[in-house]
Structure 1
Amino acid sequence: MLTDYHNHLEKGTLTLDYLRKFTEQAAQKGIDHFGISEHAYHFYQTANILQNDWVNERRYYDMKDYVKLFHAAWDHNIDVKMSIEMDYTPGKHKEMDQFINQYDFDYVIGSIHWVGDFGIDLSEYKHEWDKRDIHEVYTAYFDQVVTLAESNLFDIVGHLDLVKIFKYVPKDEEFLLAQYERAVNALAESKTCVEISTAGLRKPVGELYPDKRLLEMCCNKKIPIVLSSDAHVPEDVGADFDQALKLAREVGYQSIMTFSKGERKEFPLG
């Protein structure tokens, strides 16, 4: 069983023709469960959750059109899961919950891209890394991982250690492992799965999310996994899944989680 649950249409159009390019690539890659999880900040309906200058310029979709696209796909027997990738926003649990529950998502991904006003994975903000204390950024980032898990709003946490994207990683291993540990402890008490994401291989960090030590800690706590490519173009669907599967097996995983209308099922790893 293979999944690719984290994919985006934002570089194209919300049309069946463009969606088919993704689903056809998934079929060619032997992916059994494929989903689209557009960034929630693109939708007008999330304006009460996340607001900043970078996001506000990119809020141009209506959820009615998004839902309509999936229903059209299903009417054409296109097997695709409907999801959303939501920027976890501290202090907005009620608003996030209200948004999520308005729609019949197959699953919901929660991700952390913002530490306060700092877009940690955005090239426009990369210069900020040299101005900030790396330990403070990591502490604040993993604070959010903990509260994301505790919220129990999400089925999957996206790219768990995205904070390493530009290769800014604390040299103090004891500090880093302590951040991992508290994240894993919180996730183990939640319903939230962890994705092994191949997107990091296409980023400056040049490695999978999450770090092998972090994933091994997840496995030891029996936190379920899914596989994701975080494709923003059809060609990246299922990219480098051989490496994701190798890592999963190396740390001890033997199964994968699937989702359909919020229902979880566990299958042997593909």
Structure 2
Amino acid sequence: MLTDYHNHLERGTLTLDYLKQFTDEAARKGIEHFGISEHAYHFYQTKNILSNPWIEERRYYDMADYVRLFHEAWNAGIDVKMSIEMDYTPGKHDEMAQFIRAYDFDYVIGSIHWVDDFGIDLAEFRKEWDRRDIYDTYRKYFDQVVTLAESNLFDIIGHLDLVKIFKYVPEDEEFLLEQYDRATTALANCKTCVEISTAGLRKPVGELYPDPRLLQMCYDKGIPIVLSSDAHVPQDVGADYDKAVALAKKVGYTEIMTFSKGERKAVPLG
């Protein structure tokens, strides 16, 4: 069994024709469980959760149109899960919970893209990495992983170590492993699964998310996984899944999670 639960329509249109390009690619690659998880910041309904100048330039969707698209797909016999990828925002737990409860999502992804006012994975902010203390950024990033887990609002945490995207990684391995340890300890005590994401292979870091040492900690602490490609174009659906499956099996995983209307079920890893 294979899943691809982290995918985006934002470079195209919220139309059945464009959605079908993604689901057709998933079918071609033998992915039985496929979902779309558009960035929540694109929607007017999340303005009270996260707002900054970069976000506001990209807020142009209405949730009514998004939900309508999935109903069109289901009525057309297309098997696609409805999800959202939320930017985890400290101090906005009540607002995030209210938004999540307002829609009948199959699952919800929580991700960390912002450390204070720093968009850690955005090309526009890349030079900030040279201006900031890398240890401070990493500590604050993993602080958010911990509180994301403790919120228990999310079914999946997206690209767990996204913070490495531009290859800025602390040289002190003990410090890094300490961050991994406290993150996985928090995740082991909540409902949130970890995705093995192939997106990192298409980024400057050139690696899967998460780091093998981090994934090994996930396995050792009993944290379930899903597989995701984080595709922003149809051809990236299921990209490099041979590498993701190989890593999962190498650290010991034999099962992945599937989701439907918030309920999760373990199935054998394909």
TM-score bracket for this pair, using the shorter chain length: over 0.9
Report matched runs for 1:11-26 at 5 Å.
11-26=11-26
CA–CA distance in 1 between the matches of 2:167 and 2:30?
32
* Structure 1 stretches of at least 4 aligned residues deviating more than 3 Å after TM superposition: none
AA paired with 1:101?
Answer: R
Report matched runs for 1:29-68 at 5 Å.
29-68=29-68
TM-score (structure 1 length as normaliser):
1.00
TM-score (structure 2 length as normaliser):
1.00
1:119 is matched with: 119
In the TM superposition, residue 154 of structure 1 has moved relative to its aligned partner by 0.1
CA–CA distance in 2 between the matches of 1:21 and 1:32?
15
2:91 is matched with: 91
2:27 is matched with: 27
1:253 is matched with: 253
CA–CA distance in 2 between the matches of 1:85 and 1:188?
21
In the TM superposition, residue 239 of structure 1 has moved relative to its aligned partner by 0.1
1:265 is matched with: 265
Where 1:35 maps in the other structure, the secondary structure is strand
Where 1:10 maps in the other structure, the secondary structure is coil
1:243 is matched with: 243
CA–CA distance in 1 between the matches of 2:263 and 2:15?
27
1:198 is matched with: 198
Paired residues, what number? 270
Unaligned runs of 5+ in 2: none
In the TM superposition, residue 108 of structure 1 has moved relative to its aligned partner by 0.1
Q: Report whether the alignment pairs 1:107 with 2:111.
A: no
AA paired with 1:81?
Answer: K
> What percentage of aligned pairs have identical amino acids?
79
AA paired with 1:77?
Answer: G
CA–CA distance in 2 between the matches of 1:264 and 1:20?
25
Q: Report whether the alignment pairs 1:220 with 2:220.
A: yes
Alignment deviations for residues 14-54 of structure 1 (CA, whole Å, 9 cap, x no partner): 00000000000000000000000000000000000001000
Unaligned runs of 5+ in 1: none
1:210 is matched with: 210
CA–CA distance in 2 between the matches of 1:35 and 1:269?
17
CA–CA distance in 2 between the matches of 1:148 and 1:56?
23
CA–CA distance in 1 between the matches of 2:108 and 2:162?
18
**Superposition RMSD on alpha carbons, in Å?**
0.2
Q: Report whether the alignment pairs 1:180 with 2:150.
A: no
Alignment deviations for residues 106-142 of structure 1 (CA, whole Å, 9 cap, x no partner): 0000000000000000000000000000000000000
